[in-house]
């Protein structure tokens, strides 16, 4: 069999690389840019994170995970927040303290507290209650409700930019 010309090998290599990259992005991992300060100090505006898109097929979301999801009010936009309450749990806030199933939640990742009050509500099945770590500057489930399971893209597991802050999340 005669050898392929160099230009054909190059074109085929580029096409296969493109196909592989598209498959990885669609089903395995995707990069996201953090546009706001709602997750300070965990994530800063301009940080870039990787999200494990295959994760939802392997395990259920857990309290404390940072997730990327479709914004329920406008599903064309992506949001990043932390899971606070799971399906079937009750959640309320008193002077900025979050209570899940009647117990105060330990939240060492929250540095900027607020004095928000929210009556107790039950998280519907297949939905999640999410909040930003920077409570005074976060539009989250307190204001627009619960995140459907089907809207979750996956957990953010690695910050890869800026280089000085590279590391695993959670």
Q: What are phi and psi of 103, to 5 degrees?
A: -110, 135
Residue 66, class by beta-carbon neighbours within 10 Å (0-12 exposed, 13-18 middle, 19+ buried)? buried
Task: Kindly list the catalytic residues.
Answer: 38, 81
- Sign, CA torsion 127/133/138/143: positive
DSSP string computed for 40-89:
TTTS-TT-EEEEETTHHHHS---TT-EEEEE-TT-TTSEEEEEEEE-TT-
């Amino acid at each position: 069999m005669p050898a392929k010309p160099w230009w054909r090998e190059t074109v085929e290599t580029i096409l296969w690389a493109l196909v592989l990259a598209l498959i990885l992005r669609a089903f395995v991992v995707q990069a996201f840019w953090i546009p706001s300060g709602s997750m300070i100090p965990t994530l800063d505006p301009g940080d870039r994170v990787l999200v494990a898109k295959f994760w939802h097929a392997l395990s259920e979301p857990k309290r404390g995970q940072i997730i990327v999801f479709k914004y329920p009010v406008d599903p064309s936009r992506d949001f990043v927040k932390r899971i606070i309450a799971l399906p079937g749990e009750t959640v309320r806030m008193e002077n900025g303290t979050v209570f899940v199933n009647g117990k105060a939640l330990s939240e060492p990742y929250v540095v900027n507290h607020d004095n928000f009050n929210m009556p107790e509500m039950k998280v519907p099945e297949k939905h999640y209650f999410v909040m930003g770590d920077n409570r005074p500057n976060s539009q989250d489930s307190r204001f627009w409700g619960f995140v459907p399971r089907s809207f979750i893209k996956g957990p953010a597991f690695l910050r890869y930019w800026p280089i000085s802050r590279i590391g695993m999340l959670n």
